[in-house]
Structure 1
């Protein structure tokens, strides 16, 4: 094989080699983007779960006060609890919501508005008012429970997507490494091969 032919072979294989390296770098870059995106989404789920937990605590405070007919709570602490709930809702608005979650969240906000309206109607808690408020609190607890389930489901989906992406990138990386090794061996054979000329 002449030097010119060897150079053609080497050039052809080097082009394939460069293409595989470029593909590998692109795959790696895409994987990094997907991983970062999934981590961000998952963090939104964790943040949302924490906000739901805090909302549950605030609603529980209201429930205890109504059951105990604690009028001092409504005079002294209820406005502080309501402000805390509003700040939690504002932070929850910043997270990414799925369609299902958005529907539940809208229902939660509606139930919260109804509860606050009931609380503002009358500072003295009579039996009728107490039952209405407890019914709204039960609705809120149900909304919060549904939102918690959504966080868990969506977090699991994102982890599954992340695992699949990682497995795919790992497979292609291994495949490309094998191809590169084979190409390197072929290049070495072409460079080293020197057939004896017959006289």
Structure 2
């Protein structure tokens, strides 16, 4: 059939096919970008939110144990172990991606923990637990605030991922519709021109 087409018809068909190819290529790139957005969002939810929430949970558990140790003035070794564990959790938490608000709460946590450390070291033999309790309360408040941020940020990230998937679905539907339209145009160019040529013979 193509051997019977003149140069103009061949150019039209070539342009139509080139448009289809470019459309598929462009939508493929867009799809890839959307999938990368979703993948990055899922990684962020796991690395910066779920793990951060786990760190907050473990730090809360350590504070609970420290409250219990207030009743035992001889548990100095246990206190040192708990502080080391808390410091380790602070270090790994610092490596997560922090929002501006989260960074402020985290700095408050670090500051209160450092103050608690100083007081504990000076109070080991004094038996004065009032200031220790004060900073334990402050640390619990910091951890509660950080936990709330994890929930809020997780919701935001899920919303971003869902929006990206919705956009991808919409673009895919547009792509299918446009491909159908181009298909009809190509058929029209091929068959209408062929009929026209035959009628002229």
- TM-score, scaled to structure 2: 0.91
In structure 2, runs of 5+ residues without a counterpart are none
What are the within-5 Å matches in structure 2 for residues 27-176 of structure 1?
27-43=30-46, 44-66=48-70, 69-73=71-75, 75-124=76-125, 126=127, 129-176=128-175
Task: Write the distance in 2 (CA, Å) between the matches of 1:55 and 1:179.
Answer: 55
Aligned equivalents of 2:5 and 2:44: distance in 1?
A: 58
Shift of 1:161: 0.6
CA deviations over 1:166-198 (Å, ceiling 9, x no partner): 101110111011111221232123223323425
Shift of 1:149: 0.6
CA distance in 1, matches of 2:139, 2:126: 19
CA deviations over 1:31-77 (Å, ceiling 9, x no partner): 122112111211110000000000000011111221xx21232x230
Moved over 3 A (4+): none
Q: Distance in 1 between matches of 2:123 and 2:131?
A: 12
Could you tell me which of 2, 6, 19 is aligned with 1:3? 6
Distance 1:76 1:42 in 2: 36
Residue 22 of structure 1, CA deviation: 1.2
Normalising by structure 1, what TM-score?
Answer: 0.92
**Native 8 Å contact 2:60 2:143 kept in 1:** yes
* Pairwise CA RMSD: 1.6
